[in-house]
């Protein structure tokens, strides 16, 4: 771990000083020799908060947190079946800023910004600029929800919805709470893991006072991502009455073994978070080297079922284009 890395208390400062320089990152981790193996594509640059880097092991090129953020030459390879829009989201985009794929839920791409760039991200080619729910389309979005009475839940996503200011986020909460049919607001976010201070007092108070049920689905792939400070902030969110769930992406050579998955579930639970989904990788262009054979994933899952109580075993799923739900993986397929 990097003890000398200075982490600001203020989340806004942390967000504005994330590491974007490859040389700085490699120097901090004493891994300058990796420079020649790294390729940083212009559409999806290096981006990693210092608090996340502080959880990495110095001198370890295989650190599971580093592997998630360090660009790799393999991202340039064009591999058959790995495409820019693996979930065909463009086909479910009735208006700017809104995705409607699942019957009772819509997803708002509140922002294109993330605190961290995860190299396997399925939205790394998504055209956020053309798809932000800016004030000019806000009324269209509200109208759309009003006209679709089956919608009772709105998912704030992105990018990362917690990378916007509290002021902007609270505006969205006000708008959504004013729509009578909405019972649940969900936030999909990686920020509580990569900059835990983002769960600040004002945010937790606002969420706790919502008339809607608030669900926060964090994204954490490895137990090392949850240090003491991260756990404390998550526990505060739980104490504020927020339902906390986690989704993990199954990543080759990062979290594809039983010890790592079991440790993650236990660490999450200790921090007040229930494991929710274990996703097989979305087949995004540039991400093929993270993918795991389905059979290996199922074998791992059986081991997880045997090792952990049921409430600590996430659902093993894959998201497929044009399926109105996450598809459970048939664990008997190779039996």
Candidates 19-27, 53-61, 156-164, 269-277; binding stretch for ligand SF4 (CB under 6 A): 156-164
Asked whether position 117 contacts ligand SF4 by CB under 6 A, the answer is: yes
Q: 179-218: which residues touch ligand SF4 (CB under 6 A)?
A: 190
CA-nearest of 311, 253, 313 to 278 is 313
CB of 122 to ligand SF4, least distance (A): 7
Tokens of 247: 């989704």
* Angle, CA 312 vertex, CA 289 and CA 56 arms, to 5°: 45
Candidates 102-110, 155-163, 254-262, 303-311; binding stretch for ligand SF4 (CB under 6 A): 155-163
Nearer to ligand SF4, 100 or 123 (CB): 123
Nearer to ligand SF4, 219 or 267 (CB): 219
Count each helix (H run) and each strand (E run) in the chain, helices first. Answer: 11, 9
Q: Which of 51, 54, 56, 118 binds ligand SF4 (CB under 6 A)?
A: 118
Per the CB < 8 A criterion, the answer to whether 46 and 76 are in contact is no
| DSSP class per residue in 172-218 | HHHHHHTSTT--EEEEEESHHHHSGGGS-HHHHHHHHT-SSEEEEEE
Nearer to ligand SF4, 52 or 301 (CB): 52
CB of 69 to ligand SF4, least distance (A): 9
Helix runs in the chain, H state only: 11-16, 22-28, 50-53, 66-69, 135-147, 166-177, 191-194, 201-208, 228-239, 258-270, 294-307
In whole angstroms, what is the distance from residue 296 CA to residue 302 CA? 10
CB of 53 to ligand SF4, least distance (A): 15
Torsion of CA 232, 236, 239, 241, to 10 degrees: -130
CA-nearest of 324, 231, 331, 233 to 278 is 331
Nearer to ligand SF4, 186 or 190 (CB): 190
- How many residues bind ligand SF4 (CB under 6 A)? The answer is 11
Residues 6+ apart with CB under 8 A from 90: none
Q: 67-106: which residues touch ligand SF4 (CB under 6 A)?
A: none
Q: Which of 108, 116, 207, 226 binds ligand SF4 (CB under 6 A)?
A: 116
Q: Draw the binding track, 20-59, toward ligand SF4 (x: CB under 6 A; -: no contact).
A: ----------------------------------------
CB of 64 to ligand SF4, least distance (A): 15
- Which DSSP letter does residue 304 get? H
Q: 215-274: which residues touch ligand SF4 (CB under 6 A)?
A: 219
Q: Which chain residues interact with ligand SF4 by CB under 6 A? A: 114, 116-118, 121, 123, 158-160, 190, 219
């Amino acid at each position: 771990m990097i003890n000398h890395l200075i982490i600001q208390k203020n989340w806004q400062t942390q967000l504005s000083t994330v590491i974007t320089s490859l040389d700085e990152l490699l120097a901090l981790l004493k891994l300058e020799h990796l420079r020649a193996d790294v390729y940083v594509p212009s559409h999806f640059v290096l981006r990693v908060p210092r608090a996340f880097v502080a959880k990495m092991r110095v001198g370890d090129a295989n650190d599971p947190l580093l592997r998630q953020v360090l660009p790799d030459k393999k991202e340039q390879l064009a591999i058959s079946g790995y495409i820019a829009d693996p979930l065909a989201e463009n086909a479910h985009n009735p208006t700017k800023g809104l995705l409607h794929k699942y019957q009772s839920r819509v997803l708002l791409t509140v922002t294109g910004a993330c605190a961290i760039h995860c190299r396997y991200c399925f939205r790394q080619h998504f055209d956020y600029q053309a798809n932000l729910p800016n004030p000019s389309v806000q009324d269209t979005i509200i109208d759309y929800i009003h006209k679709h009475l089956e919608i009772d839940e709105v998912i704030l996503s992105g990018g990362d919805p917690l990378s916007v200011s509290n002021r902007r986020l609270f505006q969205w909460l006000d708008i959504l709470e004013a729509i009578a049919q909405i019972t649940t607001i969900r936030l999909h976010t990686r920020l509580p893991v990569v900059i835990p201070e983002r769960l600040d007092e004002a945010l937790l108070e606002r969420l706790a006072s919502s008339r809607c049920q608030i669900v926060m689905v964090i994204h954490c792939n490895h137990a090392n991502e949850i240090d003491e400070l991260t756990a404390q902030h998550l526990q505060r969110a739980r104490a504020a009455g927020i339902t906390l769930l986690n989704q993990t992406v199954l990543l080759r050579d990062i979290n594809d073994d039983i010890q790592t998955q079991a440790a993650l579930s236990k660490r999450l639970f200790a921090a007040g978070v229930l494991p929710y989904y274990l996703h097989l990788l979305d087949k995004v262009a540039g991400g093929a080297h993270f993918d795991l054979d389905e059979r290996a994933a199922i074998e791992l899952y059986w081991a997880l079922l045997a090792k952990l109580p049921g409430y600590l075993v996430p659902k093993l799923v894959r998201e497929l284009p044009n399926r109105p739900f996450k598809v459970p993986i048939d664990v008997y397929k190779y039996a």
